[in-house]
Chain A
Amino acid sequence: MYFESLSDLFTMGGHGPYVWAAYGIGLSVLVWNLLSPVLQGRRLASTIRRNALRDTVRKEHIGNEQLKSEGCR
């Protein structure tokens, strides 16, 4: 390592706040890029599954109604 001590690494001869702030923001940009598609994908998958389930229930319901009305006739 170039720096002699840990405090030397933090202060970086007065430039520490600038360098560490830039790296902090850089890291958060990378994390955001990583998390946002993952979360979007998960949300999407659960929505699609829920919709499919709803459609199945609805189809069964309609089927039952038809059976009932046919029975009446």
Chain B
Amino acid sequence: MKWTFFHRMSSPKWFYDFSGQCLPWVGLLALALVVTGLTWGLLFTPPDYLQGNSYRIIFLHVPSASLAMTIYVGLAVTAAIGFVWKIKLADMAVSCLAPIGASFCALALISGSIWGKPTWGTWWVWDARLTSMLILLFLYLGLIALREAIDSRETAARACAILAMVGVVNIPIIKFSVDWWNTLHQGATIKITTESSMAMEMLIPLLISIAGFYLFSLFVFLLRLRAEIISREQRTTWVKALLGAHS
């Protein structure tokens, strides 16, 4: 029972139809949460007693940094599944996740840098958290470049899957860098096991913003994957029928 579902899910056509049904709901909810989270954080929270207003960058910085790491883990798991079972859709997903992850990784680095200037007095330091995050951006860019460099689709899929799986070693390094080394970057604010070190009036808009960013990336991921499915399946009759292209 479970296996038939798994197989059906990995069919590009089934996924195209299914994702089309989810798309408007995911998009609307993402829009509502992102707008609520960011305007709340920007306009309706009190300033930080130490950092003043510069801390408002947190409502952008934390969601994008968290996404950059989560998307990488998702990408690596998908790549591993595609590598073992040779699933076309998995490789399509890997190719679509890379640019989204790269964009959020860049945003985390840039917003962090802009936040660092008024708070730490510097745009950049080579501390463990910042450096490992920069490596994550290079991994994303490497995945995009590697795919472009290889003409054969099967070889590109295998090479990208291997790079993605090896690169996963960087994720725990980013996560625990603030605990393992003495970094200028602060430790985790939101903790699952113990109480978060943040006032409720700031934590709630932050959580809304995080949820919004996650849904937003799910939305743009579906958009990208649907375009990728059309691109790779363009010779099939169902795509031609869908686009009204008869030959």
Contact = CB atoms under 8 A, between A and B. Distances in A.
Contacts of B45: 2
A16 B54 CA distance: 8
A16 B223 CA distance: 34
B115 A48 contact: no
A1 interface: yes
B47 A2 contact: yes
B54 A18 contact: yes
B152 interface: no
A4 B220 CA distance: 37
Given A2-B43, A16-B53, A33-B103, A25 B227 contact: no
Which size class do B's interface residues fall under? Answer: 35 or more
A68 interface: no
B54 to A, nearest CB: 4
Report which residue of A16, A23, A38, A56 has the largest number of chain B beta carbons within 10 angstroms of its beta carbon.
A23
B64 interface: yes
A21 B114 contact: yes
A23 B42 contact: yes
A55 to B, nearest CB: 4
B245 A52 contact: yes
A9 interface: yes
Interface string B207-247: 00000000011001001101100110010000110011111
Given A32-B103, A55-B247, A22 B227 contact: no
A15 B54 contact: yes
A49 interface: yes
Nearest to A21: B114
Interface of A: 1-3, 9, 12-16, 18-19, 21-23, 25-26, 29-30, 32-34, 36-38, 40-41, 44-45, 48-49, 51-53, 55-56, 59
5 smallest beta-carbon distances between A and B, as pairs: A52-B245, A12-B53, A37-B223, A41-B227, A15-B53
